[in-house]
Amino acid sequence: MFEIIEKKQLNKTVTLMEVVAPYVAKKVKPGQFIILRVNEKGERIPLTVFDFNREKGTIKIIFQIVGATTKLLNELKKGDKIHDVAGPLGKASNLDGIKKVAVIGGGVGCAIAYPTAKYLHEQNSIVHSIVGFRTKELIILKDQFEKISDRFILTTDDGSEGDKGLVTNSLEKLILAGENYDRVIAIGPLIMMKYVCLLTKKYNIKTIVSMNPIMIDGTGMCGGCRITYDNRICFACVEGPDFDGHLIDFDEAIKRNLMYKDLEKKALEKTCNLLKGDS
C-alpha cells in the first residue's frame, strides 16, 4: 500500500499526487513510468513519474481524469493509500550530449515533458520550452517551466493566454529565426506529436516522442502497447516510451488508441454512478 501525502488540483481535470514509494523513488529517471492499481480489483494504468525525491522516498504523478480508473484515483484523499505502484518501468530518456533542445509539451503531456526539460536544464543544456493548451483554464506547470527554460513560449488554441495558435507554429518561427536545435522532444496528444514530427522532418531535426498507447502489464507480455516503428512491431512499455518520431506510424497509433473508446465511456459512466450511490 502506497500512501498519498499530497494532493493538488492543477485544473478542473488534472490532479497532482505525491506518493510514498521509496523503491521507485530510489531508481526512477526522466522518461520512466509506473503502473498502478487503485484497489485490489482495479485495472492497471500507466502514469509517468512527474518528479521524485530520493531522500523522502516519494514520487509525484500527474493525471487527467478521463476514465473510470482515473476517476477512482481522484476520489482518494491525502492520507489514503493506493493499492499497487509498480516501477520504474520503461527505458529512461537518453538525454546525454544535447547542447540545445526544443521541448514541446501539449496538454497533460507537459507533465511528462517537464522532467525532461528540468534534467536538461540541470545538465546546462540550452532549453527552449513550448507548451500548448486549448484554453487558459487548462494551463498547468507554467511557473515550473519558466524556471528551467532559457526561452519559454506558452500557446493556447483560442488565444486566451500566451500566443494564439498551435505549438508547431511557434516552433517553426524559432527555426526560421535561426535557432539550431540538436534535438526536438515532443510529448502530448498523438496528433500533436505527429505534426511536430512532420515539421521537424522538413527541417531535418532529430525528434524524440514519448508514446503512451494502451498498456496493461508494462513488461512486454500482453502486447497491448504495440506500435509500428521503422516498419516493425515494437512494444512501447519495454522498448520505449521514447522513440524517434520520424519512424512512428502515427496514423495506426491514433486508430489503435480509439479502439476502446466506447467501452471506456461505459466504464466511466458506471463508476460515476457507483460514486454517486456512495455519497
DSSP 206-260: -EEEE---S-SSSSSSS-TTEEEETTEEEEHHHH-SEEEGGGB-HHHHHHHHTTT
On whether the CB atoms of residues 143 and 168 are closer than 8 A, the answer is: no
Reply yes or no on whether the pLDDT at 30 is more than 60.
Answer: yes
- Give the fold, CATH level 3, of 2-89: Elongation Factor Tu (Ef-tu); domain 3 (2.40.30)
pLDDT in tens, 102-113: 999 999 999 999
Q: Give, as one character, the DSSP assignment of residue 5.
A: E
Closest to 3 in 3D by CA, of 21, 30, 15, 16: 21
CA dihedral of residues 28, 32, 34, 35 (deg, nearest 10): -150
Tell me: the pLDDT tens digits for 143-184? Answer: 999 999 999 999 999 999 999 999 999 999 999 999 999 999
pLDDT digits (tens, 9 = 90+) for 41-62: 888 888 989 999 999 999 999 9
The neighbouring-strand residues paired with 106 are 132
| Element (DSSP H or E) covering residue 183 | strand 183-187
Pick the CATH number of 100-210 from 3.30.110.60, 3.40.50.80, 3.50.50.60, 3.90.550.10: 3.40.50.80
What average pLDDT does this structure show over 76-99?
A: 93
Domain positions in the chain are: 2-89, 100-210
All 3 cell numbers of residue 104? 514541446
- Burial (CB count <10 Å: 0-12, 13-18, 19+), residue 3: middle
CA angle 152, 128, 55 (to 5 degrees): 90
pLDDT at 118 over 70: yes
Q: Report how far residue 63's alpha carbon sits from residue 84's, in angstroms, rounded to the nearest whole number.
A: 16
pLDDT tens digits for range 227-242: 899 999 998 888 889 9
The whole-angstrom separation of Cα 212 and Cα 240 is 9
Measure the N-to-C terminal CA separation of the chain; round to a whole number of Å. Answer: 24
